[in-house]
Structure 1
Amino acid sequence: MKHLHRFVRRAAAFVLAAVLCVCVLAPAASAAVTIGGADTTLIPAEEENCLAWLFGSSDTITMPYLNIKGQGLRRNVTLDLVDCLVGITYTELGSIGSYVSASAAQQAWKAQAVAIHSYLEYHKQYGSSSNALIYTPVDQIPSSAREAIRRAVEPVKNEVLTYNGSVCDAVWSASAGYNTQTGVYGTCSSRDAWGTDVPYLQSVESPYEEQYHNKLRRVIGKDYTYKEYNDSRTGEPYVSADTTHKDLGGFVQYNTFVSNGRSYRYIGQFVSSRYCFDFGADESGTPCMTYYGFGHGVGMSQCGAVGYAQEQGMGYREILRHYYTGAGISASGSSGDGFFGWLHRLFHW
């Protein structure tokens, strides 16, 4: 009897779908503009055809806004999913196969691609912009790098990070910091960085920061450490600071940096508003403040991910679970979108 009921539900669903398909089937969308290779297109979201609505698709991804290299911010962007992940992964990590083994590069690219997909899906879900990411059209990527990254991305294209059943805001940064008090390299928690506690964005150890930043600095484009000799507001050396609010990685907490009795949110020569720091002197004895890290330091460290893959042979799933505390990896909702996805949920297939 149970099987009969299931059969009846499925039959009813297909009849309903067939009726609706006949009623609302629309012509295919107008010709799309090719921007990144034969399979990569920009299509205004409102022109997507009825079949995509009915069946859903895991082959494309649509974003309200996306920065495209050489074209700037574009609205209602639909891309081939793999091309999208390849293009953004290349922007973020580049041709790391030149610096680490082929297998390590594959795992780091996979971890980056899953984080990218999660980030995009999270911001789509809440209607917020993902314009911080830059998509490099795939025909602008050197062929050897493009194909290597594609081999990494293809098997994981539908995977996203989830926490308690919801997709994660899987942020990342180039490299994390160093805490001279504890001797630990590590990431920054979201609470320390932005004042909001996110369960899966906690501070975790990340031991390969300087080592792999030095290898990847051509990709990242900045030195790992900088020295500030004088306070630009007073001309005096930095000689003291509030060091009581540091997380595991040595990052200062949200809006708490105090030096020479003055409060700072951002110091001009720092590479971002998030940083960790130490005080000392240069070779001539001049007092200086050294700071570490590139980016906000929250979530996955790209240098750390590459290091874990190369030094410990970590797979991408281990890397992601290390950096996103308590997160799981699930198939994305893309293939379940559309009318048939709704029917599936309605009839409990």
Structure 2
Amino acid sequence: MTVKQSLSFARRLTALVLAAVMLCVAVPAAFAEDAAPGATTIGGANTTLIPEEEENCLSWLFGSKDKITLPYLNIKGKGLRRNLSLDLVDCLVGITYTELGSIGSYVSAGAAQEAWKAQAVAIHSYLEYHKQYGSSANALIYTPVEDIPSSARSAIRKAVESVKDEVLTYNGSVIDAVWSASAGYNTQTGVYGTCSSLDAWGSDVPYLKSVESPYERQYHEKMRRVIGKDYDYVEYNDSRTGEPYQSADTTHKDLGGFVQYNTLVSNGRSYRYIGQFVSSRYCFDFSTDAAGVPCMYYYGFGHGVGMSQCGAVGYAAEEGMGYRDILKHYYSGVSIRTVGSGTSSGGGLFGWLRRLLGM
């Protein structure tokens, strides 16, 4: 290419960029009357309803690595919000805190960092998966970062910032990285372990297999201060008569040892929630107390599929396992990938132009 041709190309390129900028500047005005009247700041993030056209245009020009836009998200104390554009780190910090809390109060700082990292990568993967398929991730709750105690906020942010661009993939696609607070005890194998998606939901997802998770009870008892419930040995009385149970149908337990929805039948009645049970999926075994009164051991919190939070904390604290090994243990056959850069230095149209021109 001659000097004259190079200059001509540069002029045309400049004109193209200016036209693109003008287009993106014009979009906000065109949609101004549809936008929310005034921005709401949550955790330092602008949560104004942003028209998709504007968001996509700005992302195309400048990239969007440091922001994440979610179709739906529950804000603690504020309810479900739609089309939230959040600072990515704030988003991951807020949800990680909701999920794991201040675990640094009972494990070492290093172990807490690895468990928080594992949780943050799982959250990011889960969000990206549901965005990709247009499904809702409104089961997650974001705690505004200004509502998190400063010491916990600082520690969790340190963990999140080091992994904020990482997601889990299987065969090149981001995964539905589900998790639960704790897994159960499999009476068939005699070990604590997670439940496979096939056993829990009837769908065989290759990366959601049943795996051993030996620290369930030990760390569930410690984490109950965050969860707010004591999952130890508890007597079960029929909620209507006050009498101890006489019989129970356990035939609907899945292979992971979990009771499925609405399938615990006691004294002829079907239950989903029982007293202190705050999860609709749980594990149990029947026995008697020291006086011979029938009672129930119950443990496990959530569906038991994917990463166990108690197990992740246990592996980090007891075996010094890093977050990558934790994630690869709970999600079979996955890879950890860094998502494409979207900052002005590496993503969007301007990032592409810099790379094209060798800048």
Amino acid at match of 2:333: G
Q: Is the 8 A contact 2:121 2:167 kept in 1?
A: yes
Distance of 1:180 and 1:158 partners within structure 2: 39
Which residue number corresponds to residue 41 of structure 1?
46
Q: 1:333 to 1:21 in 2, by over 3 A?
A: same
Q: Is the 8 A contact 1:192 1:251 kept in 2?
A: no
Which residue number corresponds to residue 208 of structure 1?
215
1:94 to 86, 91, 101: 101
Which residue number corresponds to residue 58 of structure 2?
51
Distance of 2:41 and 2:273 partners within structure 1: 42
Q: Is the 8 A contact 2:261 2:280 kept in 1?
A: no
Distance of 2:55 and 2:209 partners within structure 1: 39
Structure 1 window deviating more from structure 2 (290-299 vs 257-266): it is 257-266
Distance of 2:341 and 2:40 partners within structure 1: 23
Amino acid at match of 1:112: Q
Distance of 2:128 and 2:235 partners within structure 1: 39
Q: CA deviation at 1:25?
A: 3.2
Which residue number corresponds to residue 134 of structure 1?
141
Provide structure 1 residue ranges, at least 5 long, that are not aligned to the other structure. 1-6
Spell out, residue by residue over 1:180-238, the C-alpha distance to the aligned partner (whole angstroms, 9 max, x if none): 44321111112222222211111111111111111121111112235453455786625
Partner SS for 2:64: coil
Q: CA deviation at 1:265?
A: 6.4
Q: CA deviation at 1:268?
A: 2.8
Matched, 1:268 2:243: no
Amino acid at match of 2:24: L
Which residue number corresponds to residue 310 of structure 1?
317
Matched, 1:187 2:214: no
Amino acid at match of 1:330: R
Q: CA deviation at 1:244?
A: 8.0
Q: Is the 8 A contact 1:95 1:145 kept in 2?
A: yes
Q: 1:239 to 1:228 in 2, by over 3 A?
A: farther
Q: CA deviation at 1:264?
A: 4.3
Q: How many residues align?
A: 334
Spell out, residue by residue over 1:232-256, the C-alpha distance to the aligned partner (whole angstroms, 9 max, x if none): 5786625453458542x4224x569
Q: 1:11 to 1:92 in 2, by over 3 A?
A: farther
Which residue number corresponds to residue 3 of structure 2?
none
Q: CA deviation at 1:327?
A: 1.4
Distance of 1:255 and 1:342 partners within structure 2: 50
Q: Is the 8 A contact 2:47 2:84 kept in 1?
A: yes
Q: 1:13 to 1:165 in 2, by over 3 A?
A: farther
Spell out, residue by residue over 1:95-137, the C-alpha distance to the aligned partner (whole angstroms, 9 max, x if none): 1111100000000000010111111111111112111111111
Amino acid at match of 2:249: A
Q: CA deviation at 1:78?
A: 0.5
Spell out, residue by residue over 1:264-309, the C-alpha distance to the aligned partner (whole angstroms, 9 max, x if none): 4624333222122212111221222322111111111111100000
TM-score (norm 2): 0.82
Taking every aligned residue pair, what percent have the same amino acid on both sides? 68
Q: CA deviation at 1:56?
A: 1.9
Amino acid at match of 1:44: L
Which residue number corresponds to residue 160 of structure 2?
153
Superposed CA RMSD in Å reads 3.4
Which residue number corresponds to residue 20 of structure 2?
21
Distance of 1:317 and 1:132 partners within structure 2: 25
Distance of 1:85 and 1:184 partners within structure 2: 32
Amino acid at match of 2:245: P
TM-score (norm 1): 0.84
Q: CA deviation at 1:86?
A: 0.6
Q: Is the 8 A contact 2:340 2:347 kept in 1?
A: no
Which residue number corresponds to residue 237 of structure 1?
245
Partner SS for 2:25: coil
Q: Is the 8 A contact 2:69 2:83 kept in 1?
A: yes
Distance of 2:12 and 2:73 partners within structure 1: 36
Q: Is the 8 A contact 2:246 2:267 kept in 1?
A: no
Distance of 2:311 and 2:298 partners within structure 1: 18
Amino acid at match of 1:42: T
Distance of 1:143 and 1:244 partners within structure 2: 45
Q: Is the 8 A contact 2:185 2:257 kept in 1?
A: yes
